[in-house]
Amino acid sequence: MRINAFTVEDIPLITKDHNIAKIICSLAQLDENDIVVVASTIVSKVEGRIIDPEQITPTLEAIRISKQTDNDPKFVQAVLDECTEVLLESPIFLVRHTSGNICINAGVDESNVENGLLLLPTDPDESAKKLKDDIFMLTKKHVSVIITDTNGRAFREGQTGIALGVAGINTHHDWRGSSDLFGTILEVANEAVVDEIAGFANCMMGEGNWGTPVVVIRGFELLSDGDGMNAMYRPPETDIISNALQNYKWRP
């Protein structure tokens, strides 16, 4: 297998009303079956997902949590407004974003945005689908799209890219039912390919000021109708770790 991957250079500072598909297609020659990986930061920017913290009135709940985490109550309120469930209030504020992704601070970010707080896209699968369709309109090429964010992980130090929204690609490569080298049938292997691709693309994007929020992966042809990110999130019945957190209290 030989795969080609490149960053799309010279992308401007993105603001609301930019057209990301147009920008990508004018700066890179896309091919049929390419996987276009885009940092959620720029998707949020075009979707105008920036709020002014001064406009937020924190609730008593936000004030209570902010005292535990030493956070600004307005910031805590912004996170509460973006999540459907709080898994841990402190020492890390671990929540389920409305899209289903469990992450710190609901992905609300103060970095790589000039003013205000940057929120994740409301419906990342929908954003990915729109980008895929826009790219098709402009180029007549069918591509897969993965929208990423940088997330921390349980158990391991350091962050990696994860898939937050997908279109035209299956979230998993399900190996279950196929055999190993010795004929034993695989019973567990269900590889989260979109996270693996997001992880690699994210290290090409960089964090901070590299200015490369778009990566194209060529030669790994995974184009399909796609199943959507809901296939990635464990249902409550089988999510052992988040169940364990329900009864957990941090004792410093």
Euclidean distance between CA atoms 69 and 38, whole angstroms: 31
What is the C-alpha to C-alpha distance for residues 130 and 188, in angstroms, rounded to an integer?
Answer: 33
Binding interface with Mn ion (CB under 5 A): 109, 149-150, 207
Q: Is 151 in the site for ligand GDP (CB under 6 A)?
A: no
Q: Which partner in Mn ion, ligand GDP, none is near 87 (CB below 5 to 8 A by kind)?
A: none
C-alpha 171/C-alpha 190 separation (Å) is: 10
Q: Least CB distance from residue 37 to Mn ion, whole Å?
A: 12
Q: Least separation, in Å, of the C-beta of 211 and ligand GDP?
A: 4
Q: Tell me how far, at minimum, the Cβ of 108 lies from ligand GDP, in Å.
A: 11
Q: Residue 14: CB partners within 8 Å, gap ≥ 6?
A: 20, 23, 42, 45, 46, 213
CB of 46 to Mn ion, least distance (A): 15
Residues 57-96: x where in contact with ligand GDP by CB under 6 A, - otherwise, as a string = ----------------------------------------
- Residue number, 123 or 221, with CB nearest to ligand GDP: 123
Q: Based on C-alpha coordinates, what's the Rg of the chain?
A: 19
Q: Evaluate the omega torsion of the peptide bond into residue 58 and state whether it is cis, within 30 degrees of 0.
A: no
Of 25, 41, 76, 101, which one interacts with ligand GDP (CB under 6 A)? Answer: 41
Place of tokens 């001064």: 54
Helices (H), the chain: 20-27, 40-46, 60-69, 73-82, 124-139, 193-205, 240-246
Applying CB under 6 A, among 52, 85, 110, 207 the residue interacting with ligand GDP is 207
User: Please, which residue, 34 or 149, has the CB nearer to Mn ion?
Assistant: 149
Question: Interface residues with ligand GDP (CB under 6 A)?
Answer: 11, 13-14, 39-42, 45, 109, 111-112, 148-150, 205-213
